[in-house]
Amino acid sequence: MVAHLTNPITDGAEKDFNKPVPACAAKAMGPEQRRDMATRVLGGKESASQAARENQVSRKFVGQQTAKAKQALDETFAPPGDAPEKILFYLPVTKSWIRQATLGLALTCRGSERGISQFFDDHLNYHMVSGTVHNILTDAVSKARAQNAAIELDKVRDVALDEIFQAGKPVLVTVDAQSTFCCLLSLEEHRDADTWGVRLLELGERGFNPQTAVADFGPSLRAGLAQALPELLCRGDVFHVKMDLTEASILLDNRAYRAVERRSSLQNKQARQSRSTGRLDHSLTMKISHAQREEQEALTQADDVRILFDWLFDDILAIAGPPHADRQALFDFVVAELRQRLDSAGDACQRIGKLLANHRDDLLAFVVQLDHELATLAQQFEVPLSLVRDLLQHLATSPNHPDYWQREAQFHQGAHGRLHELKPAVQKLRRQTVRASSVVENLNSRLRGYFFLRRHLGPDYLELLQFYLNHRRFPRSDRAERKGKSPRELLTGQEHPHWLELLGFQRFERN
């Protein structure tokens, strides 16, 4: 007689074959359940075996949770002398956070790809090759390009143009002077008139039509601007001329110092000769006389150039000054005197004098519009034009000047009680008058910090960099209206999310 044997394992498997496999109980437990289980075991209310049976988990899992709870209690109640460094907050490091940190290190901290890779390896024990860093930056380009193209440029009023070079290739730069918004950041093979004209016409498709432009005296830049915007008058850049004249003044000062040193050296040599022989060397006496004449000429030349230089920039090319016709006459006189002194100082100084003589109207172009705006304000507030012009000069002086408040009282009388309205209008006009491309030079100085890390640039990298510069909010500024706002917000007057959120990331926020 054969007994029928059953296999409980296989029979059970056949009976439960269609039932769903139960989920892992340990993974299903929430943080609060794990905490309560660990505290009951630590408090002796139940053993590890009981906790494992009740929660349908292994004893190993119970031991791990108990160890975490015990470590937290030990750190909380440890003596002050032996306590570990206080934990400020916990940071969930995800792949999204890694990508955000990579963009921040590259754009905010100006880190190189290898430097970013080394940072993660050193500080987070997270290995990332430089190629991955490059891919993360590249993936953000498409969204950055879309954000750049979506911004209309019809509110650009005053624009500054310039060129910056990287590895022998030009990068064309165009910046709104009021908001510092970068309208153009383009790597090109050439910087001729056609290239400038094409890029400016492309900006015109987005509403780019400024009222004023300021640039240096590069012929290609100005020719391209004339092709794209023939009705726009390009003002001469006062900044570059000031830098050139400063360089010439330093050159003449150094020449005067050398003349003083040469004369002093000859006199010391004559004194030693007199002490040793008891008589003067006639050949040295003639050399000393000649050196004294050269010294006097060099000192006079350097002092004259410095006086004319200050006169030119503190009075003639300053925002507050005489009318346009008077400035033209003063400009011609000062430049004629400067050329007499610069032409004999070498080719570099001679070139500066020639530049000033050939570009008088370009350098004084801002005065034409300024005079028109001042006349409009005088008519609007029904005050004499001379009072508005004097008020513009008054705003350029310090309130600590002894005569400042006396002049303020005189303006109150002359404005017939409307000075509180006229003064802000003149101050606004003073801030909005553009006579130099210093805003684009400031941008170029920031660009060099990025270009220095990369020998070769590409349009994708410049697209991402332009997006960051236009959407990063200024933490501080000399102008109160710019603090805490981005160039895009200043240009459009509309707020926008953080630049990381515009790229599709969710920023980390502490509880």
On whether residue 14 sits in a domain, the answer given is: no
Give SS3 for 91.
Answer: coil
Same domain, 248 and 353: yes
On whether residue 370 sits in a domain, the answer given is: no
Same domain, 201 and 271: no
On whether residue 13 sits in a domain, the answer given is: no
Same domain, 28 and 109: no
pLDDT tops 60 at residue 5 = no
On whether residue 51 sits in a domain, the answer given is: yes
Could you give the CA distance from residue 80 to residue 294 in angstroms, rounded to a whole number? 76
Using only C-alpha atoms, what is the Rg of the chain? Answer: 37
CATH of the domain at 151: 3.30.420.10
**Contact assessment for residue 385 and residue 374, using Cβ atoms and an 8 Å cutoff:** yes
Q: CB burial class (10 A; 0-12, 13-18, 19+) of residue 172?
A: buried
Residue corresponding to tokens 């918004």 = 181
Same domain, 158 and 100: no
pLDDT value of residue 11: 46
Same domain, 290 and 393: no
Could you give the CA distance from residue 319 to residue 293 in angstroms, rounded to a whole number? 40
On whether residue 3 sits in a domain, the answer given is: no
List pLDDT tens digits, range 339-365: 988 887 778 788 888 889 999 999 999
Give SS3 for 493.
Answer: coil
Same domain, 44 and 108: no
Same domain, 244 and 357: yes
**Contact assessment for residue 208 and residue 200, using Cβ atoms and an 8 Å cutoff:** yes
Percentage above 90 pLDDT, the chain: 53
Same domain, 428 and 495: no
- Containing H/E element for 120? helix 113-123
Which of 80, 357, 366, 337 shows the shortest CA–CA distance to 211? 366
- The stretch 182-189 carries a mean pLDDT of 93
pLDDT tops 70 at residue 227 = yes
List pLDDT tens digits, range 135-144: 999 999 999 9
Could you give the CA distance from residue 141 to residue 127 in angstroms, rounded to a whole number? 24
Q: Which domain holds residue 315?
A: 238-363
Q: How many domains does the chain have?
A: 5
| Confidence bin at 367 (pLDDT 50/70/90) | very high
Q: Which of 390, 415, 432 is the last residue of a domain?
A: 432
On whether residue 9 sits in a domain, the answer given is: no
Lowest-confidence pick of 44-48, 73-77, 305-309, 380-384: 73-77
Vertex 207 angle, CA 204 and 211, to 5°: 85
On whether residue 510 sits in a domain, the answer given is: no
Same domain, 259 and 316: yes
pLDDT value of residue 165: 87
Could you give the CA distance from residue 270 to residue 279 in angstroms, rounded to a whole number? 9
Same domain, 127 and 206: no
Give SS3 for 311.
Answer: helix
Residue 133 in tokens: 């860093």
List pLDDT tens digits, range 153-167: 999 999 999 999 888
Q: Provide DSSP, 96-111.
A: HHHHHHHHHHHHTS--
On whether residue 249 sits in a domain, the answer given is: yes
- The stretch 471-498 carries a mean pLDDT of 92
Same domain, 44 and 123: no
Distance of CA 137 to CAs 21, 30, 130, 255, Å?
43, 37, 11, 51
Distance of CA 89 to CAs 34, 212, 250, 354, Å?
21, 51, 55, 64
Could you give the CA distance from residue 58 to residue 36 in angstroms, rounded to a whole number? 16
Same domain, 159 and 220: yes
